[in-house]
Amino acid sequence: MLVESARIARGNIKPLAEFNAAGFDALLLPGGFGAAKNLSTLAFDGPECRVNEDLSNAVTAMVEAGKPVGALCIAPAVLARILKGAKVTIGSDAGTIGAIESMGGLHQQTTHAEVVIDEQMKLVTSPCYMLDASISQIAEGADNTVRELLKLV
C-alpha cells in the first residue's frame, strides 16, 4: 500500500503506524476500495469486518485529542466500526446503512453534497460515490466535507 500511495501522491509516504495525532490538525479518509478492502475488511466481511489496527489507532487518537476526522464515500462505515455511536452518512444504500447500524453507528440519510456532522466526536462525513452522482456532485460533497472539517479545527 505504501508503494502505491507514494506513486499516487508523488511524495514521501510514511507508514500509518508512525501517525502521531499531535502533529496534525485534522484527519481525512477518502474512502473507495482502499478503505473497504485494504484498511478494513468491510468489502468482504460487512459488519463483522476488521479495521487495520494502525488506522483504528490514528482515528481513536484524533477523537481522544478533540481533533476532527472527516470521511468520504464508504469510509464513514469504517468510522462506525472504530467508534461506537458515531453519527455518519453514506447516503441511502440500505445494505450499508444496515451494516453501520449493526456496528453501533448512527446513520443519517443524505443526498448529493450533504454532510453529516457528529459534533460530539467531531466527525464530518459525506456519501460521495456511494450515490449515483456526477463528478461535480462528488466534488461538491468532498469540498463541503473539507469546509466543515476545517471549521472544527
DSSP secondary structure code for residue 118 in this structure: E
Residue 49 bears catalytic tag: no
Catalytic one of 73, 86, 130, 149: 73
3-state secondary structure 13-42: CCCHHHCCHHHCCCEEECCCHHHHHHCECH
Write out the E strands in the chain. Answer: 27-29, 69-72, 87-88, 106-107, 116-118, 123-126
DSSP 8-class letter at 116:
E
Cα–Cα distance, 123 to 96 (Å, whole number): 18
Catalytic residues: 73
